Amino acid sequence: MRDRLIGESSDEVEKTMNTHLHIMEAYANLYRVWPEERMAERLRNLVEIFLDEITDQKTYHLICFQDRNWNTVGAIDSYGHDIEASWLLYEAAHLLGDPGLIARVKEVSVKIANAAAEGLMPDGSMLTEKDNSTGHISTRRSWWEQAETVVGYLNAYELTGSEAYLANVMNSWNYIDGHFVDHKNGGWFSYVSESGEPGRGDKAGFWICPYHNGRMCLEVIERIK
């Protein structure tokens, strides 16, 4: 039986952006401690796949689902994945140290961050996704998208020096601190409604853990230092 836990909606789907994103992240961290030529080749290959196949060359949103030949299946813009990929992609290229690749990725990373801003609300929160085939927008806020918004726009600020991206960081953190952080019992709420009410779901579970928000804290500490 097909495993549909990663969100694919069609039997045509054989490649997912999310899988490639987290393999690239894992390879980048492996390359830090094992900087062999073979590892560099694998990491570069994934970066180029993102640039050439997974990034929509017109909108600069990521293409979430594709068939075996890289044809798009579905019409989802995932704002959280966009902003997360914008900094993970640059991190991977920076580790490889190729000036030409870094320059190319820098330009694309900023464009992806700009595309993700379609989901950024005036209160600093980041929406989940939009289905362009129906126009439906998921308005529930998830903990992980907010965490990636902070890191993604801090990275965009570092790349460009634009204060607008830094304002996004601060607005996002203020929303997180006001709505997601459980100041009474610790941790973060997993979801928040459009009106700002925290959900009653678990703070940890099959898809929920301190990964995104923990990594956000580590990234911010390192970058500000």
Domain segments of the chain: what residues?
15-224
State residue 9's pLDDT score: 64
In the block, which residue shows the tokens 């690239």? Answer: 24
State residue 200's pLDDT score: 84
State residue 206's pLDDT score: 83
* Mean per-residue pLDDT over the chain, rounded: 94
Q: Which helix (H) or strand (E) holds 117?
A: none
Note the pLDDT tens digit of each residue in 73-131: 989 999 999 999 999 999 999 999 999 999 999 999 999 999 999 999 999 999 999 99
State residue 66's pLDDT score: 94
Q: Give the single-character DSSP code of 63.
A: P
First to last CA, the chain: 48
Amino acid at 55: T
Q: Which residues contact 43 (CB under 8 A, 6 or more apart)?
A: 24, 27, 28, 31, 92, 95, 96
State residue 56's pLDDT score: 98
Q: Given the DSSP bridges, would you call strands 76-78 and 65-66 parallel, antiparallel or unpaired?
A: unpaired
Instruction: Dig out the tokens for 136 from the structure.
Output: 């439906």
Residues in the chain, pLDDT under 70:
1-9
State residue 171's pLDDT score: 98
Q: Given the DSSP bridges, would you call strands 141-142 and 76-78 parallel, antiparallel or unpaired?
A: unpaired
How is domain 15-224 classified at the CATH fold level? Glycosyltransferase (1.50.10)
State residue 5's pLDDT score: 54
CA distance 199 to 61: 28
Q: Which helix (H) or strand (E) holds 16?
A: strand 15-16
